[in-house]
């Protein structure tokens, strides 16, 4: 029996492209966009394949304060401070004049493992670091349990002038 055209094409050496041995001069755009989306701080791969080089073991991750410790500070947060926390591994949001550290919720959201539900954690990530009262009310209006769950992530109030400005834009 003669081999199929696909088998011949695969086994024909002149049709096979040689693998490039030199690394690309700059990271691929798709690598950078997926890194930004994931909140990953690792360096892009230089192997020519998409992916990331793991941070070395000697690079120490900065210590994060727990929600309890942040809450005990008893302070108000500015919108600028909230904006600094917009990554998957460090996510805050402001809703109705209150600030929430939703990092644990985002990291352990079941949508990351369920391809059919991936839009939910991606939507949460898209709003990390923002004042998202209007979006939260719109999405969670029929789900009173979401408001009770959100209360567990409370870390302080949004500065009054920030709350007023956010209320005017809503």
Say if residue 117 is in the same domain as residue 40. Answer: no
Say if residue 31 is in the same domain as residue 113. Answer: no
- Please indicate, yes or no, whether the overall pTM of this predicted structure exceeds 0.75: no
pLDDT for res 143: 85
pLDDT for res 22: 47
Poorest-confidence range of 31-35, 81-85, 150-154?
A: 31-35
Total domain count, the chain: 2
Cβ-based neighbours of 116, under 8 Å, separated by 6 or more: none
pLDDT for res 54: 46
Tell whether 72 is covered by a domain.
yes
Q: Evaluate if residue 60 carries a pLDDT over 60.
A: no
Q: Which is higher by pLDDT, 51 or 164?
A: 164
pLDDT for res 91: 96
Q: Evaluate if residue 57 carries a pLDDT over 60.
A: no
Tell whether 10 is covered by a domain.
no
Residue 68, SS3 per DSSP: helix
pLDDT for res 115: 83
Torsion of CA 83, 86, 91, 96, to 10 degrees: 40
Tell whether 11 is covered by a domain.
no
Residue 108 sits in which domain range? 67-169
What CATH number is attached to the domain comprising 133? 3.10.120.10
Q: Which is higher by pLDDT, 19 or 100?
A: 100
Say if residue 109 is in the same domain as residue 49. Answer: no
């Amino acid at each position: 029996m003669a081999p199929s055209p696909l088998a011949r094409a695969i086994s024909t050496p002149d049709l096979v492209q040689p693998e490039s041995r030199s690394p690309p001069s700059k990271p691929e755009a798709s690598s950078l966009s997926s890194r930004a989306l994931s909140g990953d701080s690792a360096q892009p791969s230089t192997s020519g394949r998409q992916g990331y080089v793991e941070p070395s073991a000697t690079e120490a991750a900065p210590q994060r304060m727990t929600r309890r410790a942040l809450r005990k500070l008893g302070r108000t947060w500015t919108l600028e401070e909230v904006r600094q926390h917009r990554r998957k591994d460090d996510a805050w949001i402001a809703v109705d004049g209150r600030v929430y550290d939703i990092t644990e919720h985002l990291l352990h959201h079941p949508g990351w493992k369920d391809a059919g539900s991936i839009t939910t954690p991606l939507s949460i990530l898209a709003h990390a670091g923002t004042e998202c009262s209007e979006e939260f009310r719109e999405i969670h209006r029929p789900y009173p349990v979401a408001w009770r769950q959100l209360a567990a992530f409370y870390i302080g109030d949004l500065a009054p002038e920030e709350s007023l400005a956010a209320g005017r834009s809503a």
